[in-house]
């Protein structure tokens, strides 16, 4: 009798080894190796005569190759809609709203006459119906299935031939030909590969819901993200009703776009004007707060930056950054110390973007410096003033991209003064409803913001 060969696979990154290891040499995760049977698959030979190649100039594309979801924020993130035959991976924390968003998309598409198959391995058919009634959905061509066996799911797909397929979630689906448990690296990889082949062969747009690890990344091997066409992350905080949909990978559009939603009792509702909501509760006549026109993809958004500078109680001051790149905050503090002359070594500095947003763009540098300086000197900043600019280590203020879009958004929300890099002044000749002030360095900006 032939001896069964086994191998050990890291459940975090997919690294394989024929001996158990306490620490994965690839991702440095401890106790992540699980034993699985090493199964050799038979090779399938194809006749080269049956394989056709096409010249790229002969391939025709029309607008019908995309499905509009009628959810503007979703279409924006996807690059204009769902591409036929694409494979989309949606990740996010438990309870964040992944299933709710996908059932709403399924409802909208089915009402357009498209055939949608929603396969759930975590909920029964009745539970899905209860959720659909709670958010008041009425679908015409939406078919639901509660199943985890991949062979049965494949058979149903062949019989139904849907235009849209939703698998919720990929970690619950298992292939009976593989001996490992559902959710293991082997099962997830094999299941995704089979569903990808079906999606491409039958031209079915497929959504896969993926669980996330405690670090916030999608559970399973990194190869999973390489196999799919689009990777979407659904972000949000448990104590906030707002959710942000962000594309990490997108073969059919930009990865810089974001979509914003609000979770209500009727489901997820689009936030058409995020800027207005993010600054609606901004305090007045308080030091340490300023509004900065940030840019997410092609969308300008006004975000409120808050800083708190307080004397430290320990020998080493604390530096805390929420929603901002920690290293940029440290650099801005160093510029304040060296170029402005502020003594920050005996003060704790806390910096935060209100609303749970995250941004790493350097255009908010001048806003970070202004809010820290305002809190340090305890001088409130004019509530109708906004500021934007990248700051270099010598204290100079550098130009930023898409300045006209940023200032136009500030003008629409009632701001009357904008401090911008002097190099961007020539790009703002058409702006009339807002006073534009150009600055060359940090000292000039702080003189205006804090009144000298």
Model pLDDT for residues 262-298, shown as the tens digit of each residue? 888 888 999 888 888 888 788 888 999 999 999 887 7
* 93 in a known ligand binding site: yes
* 98 in a known ligand binding site: yes
What is the CATH class of 61-272? alpha beta
Say if residue 308's pLDDT is above 80: yes
- Kindly report, residue by residue over 169-178, the tens digit of the pLDDT: 898 999 888 8
- CB atoms under 10 Å from CB of 155, counted, come to 12
Domain range summary for the chain, segments of one domain joined by +: 6-37, 61-272, 276-449
* 372 in a known ligand binding site: no
pLDDT of 226: 82
CATH number, span 276-449: 3.30.230.10
Rounded to whole angstroms, how far apart are CA atoms 34 and 187? 13
Rounded to whole angstroms, how far apart are CA atoms 70 and 247? 18
Residue 271 DSSP label:
-
Q: In angstroms, what CA-CA distances link 108 with 184, 258, 405?
A: 33, 20, 32
Integer-rounded Cα radius of gyration of the chain: 26
- pLDDT band for 11, please (50, 70, 90 cuts): confident
* 95 in a known ligand binding site: yes
Helix (H, G, I), strand (E, B) or coil at 269: strand
- Kindly report, residue by residue over 217-274, the tens digit of the pLDDT: 665 556 678 889 999 988 876 667 788 898 989 998 888 788 889 888 888 999 888 8
* 99 in a known ligand binding site: yes
Rounded to whole angstroms, how far apart are CA atoms 452 and 440? 16
Strands 397-398 and 390-391: antiparallel
CA–centroid distance for 179 within its chain: 34
Nearest CA to 101 among 114, 122, 118, 83?
118
Helix (H, G, I), strand (E, B) or coil at 125: helix
Is residue 93 a contact partner of residue 79, using CB atoms and an 8 Å limit? no
- CB atoms under 10 Å from CB of 452, counted, come to 7
Q: In the numeric block, which tokens belong to residue 310?
A: 């307080």
Using CB atoms within 10 Å of the CB of residue 341, give its burial: 0 to 12 exposed, 13 to 18 middle, 19+ buried.
exposed
Which residues are within 8 A (CB) of 35 and not within 5 positions of it... i.e. 6 or more apart? 6, 7, 8, 20
Nearest CA to 385 among 418, 360, 361?
418
* 92 in a known ligand binding site: yes
């Amino acid at each position: 009798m032939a001896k069964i060969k086994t191998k050990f696979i890291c459940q975090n990154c997919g690294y394989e080894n024929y001996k158990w290891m306490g620490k994965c040499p690839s991702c440095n995760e401890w106790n992540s190796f699980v034993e699985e049977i090493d199964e050799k698959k038979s090779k399938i030979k194809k006749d080269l005569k049956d394989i056709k190649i096409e010249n790229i100039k002969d391939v025709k594309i029309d607008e019908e190759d995309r499905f509009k979801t009628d959810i503007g924020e979703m279409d924006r993130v996807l690059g204009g809609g769902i591409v036929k035959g694409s494979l989309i991976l949606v990740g996010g924390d438990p309870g964040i709203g992944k299933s709710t968003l996908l059932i709403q998309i399924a409802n909208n598409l089915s009402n357009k006459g498209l055939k949608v198959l929603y396969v759930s391995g975590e909920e029964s058919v009745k539970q899905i119906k209860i959720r659909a009634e709670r958010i008041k959905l009425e679908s015409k061509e939406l078919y639901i299935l509660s199943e985890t066996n991949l062979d049965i799911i494949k058979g149903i797909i062949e019989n139904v031939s849907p235009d849209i397929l939703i698998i919720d979630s990929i970690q619950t689906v298992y292939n009976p030909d593989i001996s490992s448990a559902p959710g293991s690296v082997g099962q997830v990889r094999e299941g995704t590969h089979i569903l990808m082949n079906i999606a491409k062969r039958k031209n079915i747009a497929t959504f896969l819901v993926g669980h996330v690890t405690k670090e916030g990344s999608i559970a399973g091997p990194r190869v999973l993200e390489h196999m799919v066409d689009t990777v979407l992350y659904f972000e949000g905080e448990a104590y906030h009703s707002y959710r942000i949909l962000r594309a990490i990978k997108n073969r059919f559009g930009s990865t810089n776009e974001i979509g914003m939603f609000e979770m209500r009792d009727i489901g997820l509702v689009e936030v058409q004007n995020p800027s207005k909501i993010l600054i609606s509760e901004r305090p007045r006549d308080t030091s340490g707060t300023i509004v900065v026109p940030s840019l997410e993809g092609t969308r300008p958004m006004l975000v409120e930056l808050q800083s708190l500078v307080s004397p430290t109680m320990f020998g080493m001051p604390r530096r805390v950054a929420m929603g901002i790149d920690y290293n940029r905050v440290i650099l801005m503090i160093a510029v304040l110390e060296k170029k402005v002359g502020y003594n920050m070594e005996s003060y704790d500095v806390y910096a935060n973007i209100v609303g749970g947003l995250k941004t790493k763009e350097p255009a908010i540098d001048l806003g970070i410096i202004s809010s820290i300086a305002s809190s340090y000197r305890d001088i409130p900043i004019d509530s109708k003033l906004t500021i934007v600019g990248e700051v270099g280590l010598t204290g100079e203020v550098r130009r930023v991209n898409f300045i006209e879009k940023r200032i136009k958004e500030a003008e629409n929300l009632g701001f009357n003064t904008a401090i911008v890099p002097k190099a961007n002044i020539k790009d703002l000749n058409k702006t009339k409803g807002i006073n534009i002030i150009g600055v060359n360095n940090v000292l000039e900006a702080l003189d205006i913001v804090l009144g000298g």
